[in-house]
A and B are shown apart, each in its own frame.
Chain A
Amino acid sequence: AQSVAQPEDQVNVAEGNPLTVKCTYSVSGNPYLFWYVQYPNRGLQFLLKYITGDNLVKGSYGFEAEFNKSQTSFHLKKPSALVSDSALYFCAVSPGGTTSGTYKYIFGTGTRLKVLA
């Protein structure tokens, strides 16, 4: 079965320190990978995506993610965390291409990031 795992329910990091939010996936073929952020009572905001090419992807607000095919991972990183980065982060995978008119996403369970001042 296709799945996405975010093994940490919560990540705490001090402001100014680097942060990593982990994501691994189990999807056949060549998946497309995404990170979204959700602030309280808000929708899902796109951060970045990996489709093909360079394994290191840069996105919004200084975030980046590294695609590692051998480890089937797509961890989200930021060199220096801000208090305003505190939010719920979702990793999502699309199995790649359309089979019948769909680019369905499979979401991870989310990781709550708390940046401490």
Chain B
Amino acid sequence: EPEVTQTPSHQVTQMGQEVILRCVPISNHLYFYWYRQILGQKVEFLVSFYNNEISEKSEIFDDQFSVERPDGSNFTLKIRSTKLEDSAMYFCASSEEYGYTFGSGTRLTVV
């Protein structure tokens, strides 16, 4: 069964550093998403991406965040200058329409 692959599985970074979280969506999917979950809490929408541009973003997704699909297969989330409160599990998802496949997540720890 096709999978969404996320790397790395765990990243530790110092406050103020830039991080890039990587995702390989399912190849024939058209819609791409990033969500985050702060330690066992609610899963929060960050951003959706369609047709090579952001289609919707939440208030969490401020100027420190950006997404890119640089080569037609990868889908990345960049956090420019990490803060302690960015520590969370970040999930990538892709879909043809409304049925997502989620990746297994990247646990980001900001110290």
Chain B residue nearest to A95 in the complex (CB): B98
The answer to the question of A22 belonging to the interface, with a C-beta cut-off of 8 Å to chain B, is no
Main secondary structure of the interface of B (DSSP, over half): strand
Number of cross-chain contacts by CB at 8 Å: 71
Q: A86 at interface (Cβ–Cβ under 8 A)?
A: no
Docked Cα-Cα span, A94 to B99, in Å, equals 10
Residues of chain A whose beta carbon lies under 8 Å from any beta carbon of chain B: 32, 34, 36, 42-46, 49, 51, 88, 90, 92, 94, 98-110
Write the residues of chain B forming the contact surface with A, with a CB cutoff of 8 angstroms: 31, 33, 35, 40-45, 48, 50-51, 53, 55-56, 91, 95, 97-105
Q: Known contacts A46-B102, A103-B48; can you find 17 more A-B pairs with CB under 8 A?
A: A42-B104, A43-B103, A44-B91, A46-B99, A94-B98, A101-B31, A101-B55, A101-B56, A104-B33, A104-B45, A105-B33, A105-B35, A105-B43, A107-B35, A107-B42, A110-B41, A110-B43
